[in-house]
């Protein structure tokens, strides 16, 4: 396939229009080129997907600096708008400043920062006498708003889009998600991402007066065009397609399928012991479906 002409727009440019913005989640240059050829408007270099595909480690065991290096590699390959997934940027204002500017220097024109205390998810439990990993451990809302302000103030380019993510809807309630979102908008966030929001609940956040970001997480072969049309028409302005984190594209599974054909010739097992990178690394929380409140 011939690659289409690469765009030179930023996310701010895309937001100046009226169309829904379609973003492909990628871990590196090859997937970014695929997103470009498939007609996506931009890409997000994801933290979790990069950790799994590039380093074969569990979600949360990748630093913002490593994600930024992936951004740099993607920028060397494509002129598409790049969004960086920077987690909580270690939750300290000096680090926030450092990572915002590093992401800009690497070629990102937008970044996502979340209100999960990423390092705080790992705590020693005296009850189980082991490390307790909880996927959602929320930072205080006011403290997170202060970090959002630090990120806004750290931008060298005022057109860099700051997307504030909250997981409060799936962990607490929509009311708490909206309360947090309002604090983040007041701190200067350009967009809000409420994890768990969909076509049925997007209208509840319409009063935030900033564009809303949604996630499209579908399994390969189970794409529902009717449901997707509802999502596009729901009022969400930017959609991030996350099939790279689901059971769709999985670099490990692709290698198992391809290289596995030669197992008999090299004396390997006839049946692979794992069918996905998630099973291979034993990461159940990565495939757990969270029930909405």
pLDDT digits (tens, 9 = 90+) for 206-244: 999 899 999 987 665 567 888 889 999 999 999 998 865
| 187 and 149 Cβ atoms separated by less than 8 Å | yes
Token duo for residue 129: 């006498």
Residues 204, 187: Cα–Cα separation, whole Å = 21
| 190 and 238 Cβ atoms separated by less than 8 Å | no
Number of domains in the chain: 1
Please indicate, yes or no, if residue 224 is contained in any of the structural domains: yes
Work out the average pLDDT over 108-112.
98
pLDDT at 273: 66
Q: What mean pLDDT, rounded, does the chain reach?
A: 85
Out of 2-11, 162-171, 243-252, which region has the weakest mean confidence (pLDDT)? 243-252
Please indicate, yes or no, if residue 45 is contained in any of the structural domains: yes
Work out the average pLDDT over 175-183.
97
- Other CB atoms within 10 Å distance of the CB of residue 267: 6
Using a cut of 0.75, tell me whether the model's pTM lies above it. Answer: yes
Query: Mind telling me the catalytic residues?
Result: 59
Please indicate, yes or no, if residue 6 is contained in any of the structural domains: no
Give Cβ neighbours of residue 72 (< 8 Å, ≥ 6 apart): 106, 107
Task: Identify the domain containing residue 241 by its residue range.
Answer: 11-286
Please indicate, yes or no, if residue 147 is contained in any of the structural domains: yes
Please indicate, yes or no, if residue 5 is contained in any of the structural domains: no
Strand partners, 214: 239
The distance in angstroms from the start CA to the end CA of the chain is: 44
pLDDT at residue 292 greater than cutoff 70 = no
What is the domain-level CATH number for residue 157? 3.20.20.60
Please indicate, yes or no, if residue 292 is contained in any of the structural domains: no
C-alpha 238: how far from its chain's center? Answer: 12
Please indicate, yes or no, if residue 291 is contained in any of the structural domains: no
Please indicate, yes or no, if residue 167 is contained in any of the structural domains: yes
pLDDT digits (tens, 9 = 90+) for 265-279: 777 776 666 666 667
């Amino acid at each position: 396939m011939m690659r289409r002409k690469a765009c030179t727009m930023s996310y701010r440019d895309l937001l100046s229009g009226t169309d829904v913005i379609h973003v492909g989640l990628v871990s590196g240059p090859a997937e970014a080129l695929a997103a470009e050829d498939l007609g996506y408007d931009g890409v997000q270099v994801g933290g979790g997907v990069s950790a799994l595909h590039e380093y074969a480690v569990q979600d949360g065991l990748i630093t913002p600096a490593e994600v930024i290096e992936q951004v740099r590699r993607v920028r060397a390959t494509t002129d598409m708008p790049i969004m960086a997934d920077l987690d909580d940027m270690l939750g300290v204002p000096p680090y926030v400043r450092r990572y915002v500017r590093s992401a800009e220097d690497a070629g990102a024109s937008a970044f996502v920062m979340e209100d999960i205390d990423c390092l705080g998810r790992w705590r020693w439990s005296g009850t189980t006498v082991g490390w307790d990993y909880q996927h959602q451990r929320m930072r205080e809302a006011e403290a997170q708003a202060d970090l959002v302000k630090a990120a806004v103030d750290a931008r060298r380019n005022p057109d860099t889009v700051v997307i504030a993510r909250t997981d409060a809807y799936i962990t607490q309630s929509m009311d708490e998600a909206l309360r947090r979102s309002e604090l983040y908008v007041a701190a200067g966030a350009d967009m809000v991402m409420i994890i768990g929001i969909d076509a049925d609940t997007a209208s509840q956040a319409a009063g935030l007066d900033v564009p809303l970001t949604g996630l499209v997480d579908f399994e390969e072969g189970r794409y529902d065009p009717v449901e997707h049309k509802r999502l596009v028409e729901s009022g969400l302005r930017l959609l991030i397609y996350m099939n790279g984190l689901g059971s769709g594209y999985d670099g490990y599974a692709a290698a198992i399928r391809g290289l596995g054909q030669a197992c008999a010739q090299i004396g390997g097992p006839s049946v692979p012991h794992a069918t996905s990178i998630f099973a291979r690394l034993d990461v159940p929380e990565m495939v757990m479906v969270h029930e909405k409140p």
